[in-house]
A = this chain, B = another copy of it.
Amino acid sequence: MTEPKPVLSEDARPDNVSETTDSFDPAASSLAGQVDRSVMDELLSIRSSIDNIDATLVFLLAERFKATQKVGVLKATHKLPAGDPGREAAQISRLRRLAEEAHLDPAFAEKFLNFIISEVIRHHEAIAEDHQASRD
C-alpha cells in the first residue's frame, strides 16, 4: 500500500525542483575511477560545501547588480559619469582591510573588486546610452 500523497503548496513543487538540479552531477570529475574511493569521498564532501558557497555567491552577486542597476539609472537620469574614482579608491582600501581580517589575499580582493567594477561600469554605460536614445 502506498502512502497517500501529501497536499503540497505550489512553492513546494517537488517535481519542478529537479528542473534546476537534475542535470547537475555533484560527483562530476575527470578523476572519476582514477582515485581511491576514500580520497574521492573526501573531495566530494569539500566540493559540496563549495557548491553551496557558489550558489550563495551567485544570488549575492545578483543582488549587488540590482543595487548597481539603480545607481546606473540615477547616474543616467542626472547625467553623471559612469565611474567614480574617489568612491572606487575608498572601496578598494576598505575591501583590502576586510580581506586581511578574513585571511583572504588582499591583492585578490582588489582584483575581484576591479573585475566587478568593470562589469558595473559597462552596465552603467549601456543604461546611459539607452537613456540617451530614448530622449533622441
Contact = CB atoms under 8 A, between A and B. Distances in A.
Chain copies in complex = 2
A101 interface: yes
B78 A39 contact: yes
Interface stretch (A7-15, A40-48, A127-135): A40-48
B55 A98 contact: yes
A53 B67 CA distance: 10
B42 A74 contact: yes
A57 to B, nearest CB: 6
Interface string A45-61: 01101110111111111
A22 B62 CA distance: 29
A57 B59 CA distance: 11
